[in-house]
Amino acid sequence: MNHLFSKFINYSLKETNFEKLLNLFLQTLNIASGNVSEALRILTEIDRKYKISSDDYGIGDFIEDLKKNNYILENKYDGIKYIATAKSSIALRKQSLEIIFGKLKNDKLGNHNSKIIGKNGDEITDSYKNYEFGDSIESIDFIRSLKNSQIRNGIENFELNEKDLEVYEKEKNISASTVLLIDISHSMILYGEDRITPAKNAALALVELIMTKYPKDTIDVIAFGDDAYPIEIKDIMYLQAGPFHTNLAAGLQLAQNILRRKKNNNKNIFLITDGKPSCIKEGAKYYKNSFGLDKKIVNKTLDEAAKCKKAGIVITTLMIARDPYLQKFVKEFTRINGGRAFINSLSTLGDFVLFDYVKNRIKKLK
C-alpha cells in the first residue's frame, strides 16, 4: 500500500490584482459599516503603507472594476458618491464564512464533526465509524472495509469480518430556528476598542453557514440598544454602535415573538454582548441606569430569560467583557434560562459562534 507524493501547488494563492484588493475592500467595508467611500479611503491608506497595488493596476483601476463587476454603484443622491450592492453583501458573507470556517477546519476548536450517528441518519457525511448491529448494508464503505482486512490479515490470507467493516456516518435531517441578538450600545466601541465589527463578522458567517449548509434552518438577526429591532440580512454590514443603553429585555421579547411563529421545536438565541443591561421600557418611557446593575432592570431581564426557558428556547450568551460583577449577572441569567454562557475574546468570537451552532444543533436532538 505505497503512496507517491508530489509537490503541492496552492493555486488559490494566484489571485489577480482585483481579487486581492477585493478581499481587503470587503473587510474595510464591514469596518466602515457599509460606507463605500470610507472603505475606499481606508483601503487607499493600507495600500499606501503596504504597497499592495502596482504601477500597472492601481486603486483607481480597482474602483472602476468594482463598478464594472456590480459591487458598487454610483449614487447621485444624499451626497453619497457610491453605494454597495447586494453582490457586495453576499460576497462579504461568503468571505466571513471562509475566514472563520477555514480556521475551524484546521483547529482543535473547530473539530465540529459531532453527528448523530447510525441507522436513523439522513445525510451522508465525510466521516466514518465502525459497523454496529442495525446499521444498513447500504451505508457500508467496502473499499475502506477491504483495506482494513488487508491491513489486518495481509493480501494472501484474505478474510473479511465484522471488525473490518466501516460505515458512513450520517446526520439527521433536522431543522432549527435561530435568532442572533447583537448589542449595539455605546460600550461596543468604548475605550477605543472595536467590538461591533467582530460581532458583525460572526453574524455574517452564521447567516452564510445556515443558508448554504442548513437551508431548512431559519436565521433572524436583531440589533438592540435602547430599543430592539429586526434587521434584514443585507443590512448587517451597516450596523453601527451608537449612543445607546442596553435594553436586553426588549431584545429577548422580540426574539421570542419571532421564534413563536416558527414551526419547528428547536429554537435558539445567540446573544453577543459586552455589557450589563442598563435600560428597559415602561410604556412610552425609558427607564435607564448606567451605574452598576440596577435591580429593577436586572429583574425584568431575568424574567425574560425565564420566559425563554418556559418556551423551550435555549440562550447561548457570548460575553466579550471580563468584569467580575458582569460575569456574576451572566451566570445568574444562564442559570435561570438553563442555557450556556461563554466569555470570548474578540478574535475567537466568530469561531465560537459557528462551532457552537453546528455542535448543539445536532446534540439537542439526540
d(CA 270, CA 255): 10
- Bridge-partner residues for 318, per DSSP? 272, 342
- Reading the block at residue 268, the C-alpha cell is 435558539
Q: How far apart are CA 25 and CA 2, in angstroms?
A: 46
pLDDT tens digits for range 269-301: 999 998 789 999 999 999 999 998 999 999 999
CA angle 244, 245, 249 (to 5 degrees): 125
What 3-state class would DSSP assign to 306? helix
H-type helices in 69-115, by residue range? 86-105
Nearest to 180 by CA among 318, 311, 364, 278: 318
Nearest Cα residue to 361 out of 297, 242, 267, 256: 267
C-alpha dihedral sign at 288, 293, 298, 299: negative
Average pLDDT score, the chain:
84
**What is the C-alpha to C-alpha distance for residues 334 and 174, in angstroms, rounded to an integer?**
26
pLDDT tens column, 299-344:
999 999 999 999 999 999 988 877 888 889 999 999 999 999 988 7
pTM: 0.78
Quote the cell numbers at residue 84: 454597495
Distance CA 241, CA 221 (A): 15
116: confidence class by pLDDT, cuts 50, 70, 90: very low
Tens of pLDDT, residues 36-90: 999 999 999 999 999 999 999 999 999 999 999 999 999 877 777 899 999 999 9
- DSSP 3-state of 218: strand
Higher pLDDT residue, 218 or 112? Answer: 218
How would residue 157 be classed by pLDDT, with cut points 50, 70 and 90? confident
Buried-exposed string 9-45: b where 16+ CB fall within 10 A, e elsewhere: eeeeeeeebbeebbebbbbbbbbbbbbbeebbebbbe
**Cβ–Cβ < 8 Å for 1, 150:** yes
